[in-house]
């Protein structure tokens, strides 16, 4: 029962071998959440909301550009 050493070894090996993509996803999600918070909140002005929309566009552009180059 329980977690075996080989399972832990496999999970750590997977995490360290995929750390770059994991960090890209985590950072993108944090920035996306912050941007959506600013856009949907009534406490921020027009200039902050424009910056948030621009940030979402940059995130989408980053991932679309990354998916095209990774597929080659």
Instruction: Indicate left, alpha or beta for 2 from its phi (over 0: left) and psi (-120 to 50: alpha).
Output: left
* 8 A C-beta contact, residue 40 and residue 56: no
Inter-residue contact 52 to 35 (CB < 8 Å)? yes
Instruction: Please compute Rg for the chain using Cα positions.
Output: 18
Instruction: Please give the biggest Cα pair distance in the chain.
Output: 56
pLDDT tens digits, residue range 27-59?
A: 999 999 999 999 999 999 999 999 999 999 999
pTM, rounded to two decimals: 0.71
Where along the chain do its domains lie? Answer: 19-70
């Amino acid at each position: 029962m329980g977690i075996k050493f080989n399972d832990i070894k496999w999970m750590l090996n997977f995490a360290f071998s995929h750390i770059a993509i994991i960090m890209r996803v985590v950072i993108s999600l944090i920035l996306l959440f912050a941007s959506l918070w600013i856009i949907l909140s009534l406490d921020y002005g027009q200039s902050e909301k424009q910056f948030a929309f621009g940030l979402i566009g940059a995130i989408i552009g980053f991932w679309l550009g990354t998916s095209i180059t990774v597929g080659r």
